[in-house]
Structure 1
Amino acid sequence: MPISRDTDLTSSDPGGAAPPPALPQRLRRWAVTARDQAAVSALTEEAGLLGRDDIRLVLVREDTATGLRCDWSALARQLYVLELSAAERVFLGFVLSMAGSHQTALSRVQELDEARLAIVLRALVRLSGNGRIAVGTRV
C-alpha cells in the first residue's frame, strides 16, 4: 500500500541528504531476511539516496503488519526513470541485486566511489553470513 498522508517521510534536511530520523530504524526492524537486511543496511549506511523524497516515494511502503517496508520491485521498475547519476544507479543496482532477483554485473564496481564501494562490500559480507571478514581502509 502506498504511504499515507499521515506518514511523515519527508526529510528533516532541506537538501535531502539525510533520511527522516526514524526511517532507518523502522526499515531495519522490518528487514528479517538476510537479503533484506543486507540491502537495507547498505541503503541506510549510504543515507544520501534514502534521504531523497523521490526515492522514498518509490521504495518505501506502509505495511499493516510490519509498519514500513521496502518495495524492491517498485524501485527496480523505476531505476531508469528516476533522475540518478550513473554512480547512484549502479549503487542502487547492487542494493536491488542483494534484495531480490535484479542482476548487476560485478564489473560495475568500477563505477562506485570509495565510500559506496565499501558499503557494498560490507553489505555483501553481511549477506554471506561471515562475521570474520572486515572491510575498511588500508593504513
Structure 2
Amino acid sequence: MTLTSAEPPEAALLQLRGARLIESATSNRELAAAQALVDEETILSHRSVYGALGLLELPSEATVRWEGLTGRVYTLGLDHEERVFLGLTLSMLGIGNTPLSAVSDLGERRLPIILRAITQLARNDTLTGDRRI
C-alpha cells in the first residue's frame, strides 16, 4: 500500500497503523499475521480492531497486543467473512481456534492473502497464494 497526496487522512493513518503492526512483529508468526492484516486492509481499518491491538495512539514503537482480540472477535463489528479471516490470522499466532476448513468461507480477494500468509508462516517461498493447485 503506497500513499499519494490525493489520499484522505484515513488512508495515511491506515498505512501508519499497518507499518507499526509489521514493525512490532517479534516472530515469523507475528510477521505473517501482521502482513495478512495489512494486505487485507478492511479489518485493520475498524477502530475496534486497531484499538484492541493497542494501535490507537500510534507511538513511534508499538507493542501490539494480539491477545486483545482474543474473545472479542464477535464484538468488533466485523462481518462473517472478516471474522473468519481474523480468526484464521489469530490461529497463525496460536491464540485462535479457527479450523483451517474455514477458508471455504473466504472470498476470492481474501483467500490468496491467507494462502500467502500460510506459506510465509511455513517459510516456504516456492508456493504462492495466486497459483491454483
Both structures adopt the same fold (TM-score exceeding 0.5): yes
Question: Quick one: distance in 2 between partners of 1:18 and 1:102?
Answer: 29
Per the TM alignment, residue 83 of structure 1 is displaced from its structure 2 partner at its CA by 1.6
What does 1:26-105 align with in structure 2 at a 5 Å threshold? 26-61=20-55, 67-105=61-99
Task: Work out which of the residue numbers 108, 130, 133 in structure 2 matches 1:136.
Answer: 130
Question: Quick one: distance in 2 between partners of 1:18 and 1:49?
Answer: 16
Post-superposition, which runs of at least 4 consecutive aligned residues in structure 1 deviate over 6 A? none
Task: Report Cα offsets for 1:63-93 as digits up to 9, x if no partner.
Answer: 98x8213212110121122222111110000
Question: Quick one: distance in 1 between partners of 2:91 and 2:47?
Answer: 22
Q: Tell me, which stretches of 5 or more residues in structure 1 are unaligned?
A: 1-10
More strand by share: 1
Q: Percent identity?
A: 35
Give 2:118's aligned residue.
Answer: 124
Question: Quick one: distance in 1 between partners of 2:99 and 2:76?
Answer: 20
1:57 partner letter: G
Which shows bigger deviation, 39-48 or 105-114? 105-114
2:9 partner letter: S
Query: How many matched pairs?
Result: 124
The answer (yes or no) to whether the contact 1:63–1:69 under 8 Å persists in 2 is: no
Question: Quick one: distance in 1 between partners of 2:48 and 2:95?
Answer: 23
- Tell me how large the CA RMSD over aligned residues is: 2.4
Give 2:102's aligned residue.
Answer: 108
Question: Quick one: distance in 1 between partners of 2:100 and 2:12?
Answer: 28
